[in-house]
């Protein structure tokens, strides 16, 4: 191995014949992460150079099927893997998407995280796990230090989480590392089956994500202490989940951290349950009913500014008005009861027609009174009735009823 694995790599050093190191981002137990430039593409990347001893390990070249699979995984909550080389005779490194943000570990150390942010994070990360588990890949090392946070563009959400190093443990484990005491996965977040030395499956990632969510909500690591203490504790006990988190969180985290892998929910089930919690938390904060909030993918618009539905009209209220465009057609207001078979339904006299008839009756009464007054004032026979002034032509239903009325009252 080159000495680049035992000390900080100097800026300007080129790794893998194309990645120019810029600065050190962080250092972990197995690798150091550098900000670097992919020279041919002129883009910034995260270069993870292994600090563990891979000497004697079989070469894992760029054409490896494992690398191609991991590089093909695509989800907004996954840090994309661009390139990888694990070789006992040279530099062993991973090249990944560069995320400009802190780790979840750093965020937890800075103070409490809002419940809505934790719920959103669990939804995103569980979706990512669902994608990779569907490709028969297991992360094996889900922990706060491997979760990167991008600032959110939404005011209601502080950050969006991305799971990094997806598959790194699988790749490293496949090389049969020779460093004494190397454990795949961080002791504080290992599942009980991993602690027993069994090969982990997808339920192991669910267990670890449950511990991560619990720590994010409480600010307290569930299994702390030395490696032996931490591993021994989870073999005989469940992590303490405060009831103050609420029944929904207690139920979800309890299932995710069940000691029996078969009793844990799948990643997709975690998505659905965490999304339900997210909706409830948002509803409580905004003062609206959870049932009015749109589901993922719904076309329903937000409650505020939505189209208002007219109230249902009572049985005795008028709901049908004559149409101006067609004398026989009717326009039905939203919410009005409509007969299943209009041709057989009893007809109700429209309110507009009743009004017209009332007005006409008043006019007739006034006209008759005027004739009578003329006869009395003249003291004799009334003058011949002059021809009435023709009324304006009215077409449609209204005109028909006026004509019938006039004919019925004409002397």
Give per-residue burial for 66-100: e unless 16+ CB within 10 Å, then b: ebebbbebebebbbbbbbbbbbbeebbbbbbbbbe
CB 95 within 8 A of CB 47: yes
Per DSSP, 303 falls in state S
CA distance 400 to 109: 83
CA distance 364 to 310: 39
Three-state secondary structure call for residue 40: coil
Of 91, 124, 141, 205, which residue is the catalytic one? 141
Within 10 Å of residue 373's Cβ, how many Cβ atoms?
A: 10
Q: Which residues pair with 45 in a beta bridge?
A: 36, 97
CA angle 277, 278, 282 (to 5 degrees): 115
Phi and psi of 200, rounded to 5°? -80, 145
211 is written with which tokens?
Answer: 């511990």
CB 161 within 8 A of CB 148: yes
Return the H-helix or E-strand segment holding 93.
strand 93-97
401 is written with which tokens?
Answer: 């009823």
Within 10 Å of residue 35's Cβ, how many Cβ atoms?
A: 16
Three-state secondary structure call for residue 206: helix
Mode of pairing for the β-strands spanning 81-85 and 93-97: antiparallel
339 is written with which tokens?
Answer: 């007969």
Q: Which of 133, 128, 208, 131 is nearest to 160 (CA)?
A: 128
143 is written with which tokens?
Answer: 């922990």
288-to-155, 280, 294 alpha-carbon distances in Å: 18, 9, 12
The answer to whether residue 141 is catalytic is yes
Catalytic annotation, residues: 141
């Amino acid at each position: 191995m080159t000495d680049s694995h035992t000390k900080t790599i100097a800026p300007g050093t080129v790794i893998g014949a194309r990645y120019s190191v810029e600065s050190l981002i962080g250092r972990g137990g197995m690798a150091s992460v550098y900000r670097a430039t992919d020279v041919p593409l002129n883009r910034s990347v995260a270069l993870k150079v292994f600090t563990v001893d891979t000497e004697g390990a079989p070469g894992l070249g760029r054409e490896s099927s494992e690398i191609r699979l991991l590089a093909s995984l695509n989800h907004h909550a996954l840090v994309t893997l661009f390139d990888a080389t694990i070789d006992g005779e040279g530099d062993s490194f991973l090249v990944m998407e560069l995320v400009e943000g802190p780790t979840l570990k750093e965020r937890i150390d800075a103070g409490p995280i809002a419940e809505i942010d934790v719920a959103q994070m669990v939804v995103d990360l569980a979706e990512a796990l669902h994608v990779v588990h569907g490709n028969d890949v297991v992360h094996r090392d889900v922990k706060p230090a491997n979760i990167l946070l991008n600032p959110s563009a939404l005011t209601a959400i502080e950050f969006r989480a991305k799971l990094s190093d997806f598959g790194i443990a699988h790749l490293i484990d496949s090389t049969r590392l020779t460093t004494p005491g190397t454990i795949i996965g961080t002791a504080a977040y290992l599942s009980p089956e991993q602690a027993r030395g069994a090969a982990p499956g997808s339920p192991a990632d669910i267990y670890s994500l449950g511990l991560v969510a619990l720590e994010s909500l409480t600010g307290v690591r569930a299994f702390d202490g030395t490696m032996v203490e931490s591993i021994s504790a989870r073999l005989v006990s469940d992590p303490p989940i405060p009831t103050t988190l609420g029944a929904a969180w207690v139920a979800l985290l309890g299932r995710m951290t069940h000691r029996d892998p078969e009793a844990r929910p799948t990643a997709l089930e975690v998505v659905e349950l965490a999304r339900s919690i997210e909706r409830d938390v948002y509803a409580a904060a905004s003062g609206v009913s959870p049932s009015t909030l749109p589901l993922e993918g719904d076309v329903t618009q937000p409650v505020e500014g939505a189209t208002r539905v007219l109230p249902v009209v009572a049985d005795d209220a008028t709901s049908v008005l004559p149409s101006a465009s067609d004398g026989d057609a009717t326009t039905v207001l939203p919410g009005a009861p409509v007969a299943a078979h209009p041709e057989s339904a009893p007809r109700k006299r429209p309110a507009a027609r009743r009004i017209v008839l009332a007005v006409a009756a008043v006019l007739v009464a006034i006209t008759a009174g005027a004739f009578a007054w003329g006869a009395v004032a003249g003291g004799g026979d009334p003058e011949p009735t002059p021809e009435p002034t023709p009324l304006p032509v009215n077409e449609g239903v209204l005109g028909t009823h006026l004509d019938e009325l006039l004919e019925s009252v004409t002397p």
